[in-house]
Amino acid sequence: MRRLLAVLTAVAVTVLTALSGAGPALAGTEPVWHRIPCESGAFDLVEVETDEVKGISHLTLAGHLDCADPKQTATFGYATYREHEPQGVLYDIRLRPYAATAPTTFHERNLLAPTSIGVCVVTDRSVRVACVGVNWDSEVGVTVEALPTDDPLVDRCVRLVRYDDSMPSPVCGTCW
């Protein structure tokens, strides 16, 4: 009887702990994004590589932010913008830490999906430091051009999305 009472008590404590919110974050909740004020930086390299045989293209974005976080707890990321969506999207797996001392350098190479998008390095929900427009055309291929941070394609706030809540598989080779 004592053993049964101990097991029932343990189960009750587990259920109450889960219901009180002390457990893991619920699916669909926005992940935490620690930010610092950072509004300057640039792309130092924007490069598209296309493998004609495989029919795939990769985009490389490398550059710097004129900011640092001595605690190295704050992050920045890469947001994507699609023409008819109300917000840009930043996947939590694309958050990168700042360097302890400035400048913070970054380098990202990623597979491109056959679609046209804007990609920006963002340091806050409405702070775009540098942006490019990626245009995909079945006849011309992929072209990339620098975009002003206030271009209508990217002049929108960013929504941070938990990667596993939005992706059908564990790997997204074309997610920025």
Looking at residue 35, what is its pLDDT? 96
Looking at residue 56, what is its pLDDT? 87
User: Please, how many CA atoms are within 13 Å of residue 147, restricted to the half-sphere of its CB?
Assistant: 23
Looking at residue 172, what is its pLDDT? 53
Are the beta carbons of 160 and 30 closer than 8 angstroms? yes
- What end-to-end distance do the CA atoms of the chain give, in Å? 57
The encoded tokens of residue 101 equal 């001392």
Looking at residue 175, what is its pLDDT? 60
pLDDT tens for 31-89 read 899 999 999 999 999 999 988 888 889 999 999 999 999 999 999 999 999 999 999 99
- Is the pLDDT score of 133 beyond 60? yes
- Is the pLDDT score of 1 beyond 50? no
Query: Can you give the pTM of this predicted structure?
Result: 0.77
pLDDT band, very low/low/confident/very high, at 137 (cuts 50, 70, 90): confident
pLDDT band, very low/low/confident/very high, at 140 (cuts 50, 70, 90): confident
Q: Can you tell me whether residue 13 is helix, strand or coil?
A: helix
Range with lowest mean pLDDT among 6-15, 108-117, 128-137: 6-15
pLDDT tens for 2-34 read 443 333 333 333 333 333 333 333 445 668 999
The encoded tokens of residue 167 equal 């992706």
**Residue among 103, 28, 99 at smallest CA distance from 66:** 103
Tell me the pLDDT of the chain averaged across its residues: 81
Cα 127 from Cα 120, distance rounded (Å): 9
135 versus 55: the higher-pLDDT residue is 135
- The amino acid occupying position 176 is W
pLDDT tens for 35-47 read 999 999 999 999 9
pLDDT tens for 158-173 read 999 987 744 544 445 5
Looking at residue 130, what is its pLDDT? 98
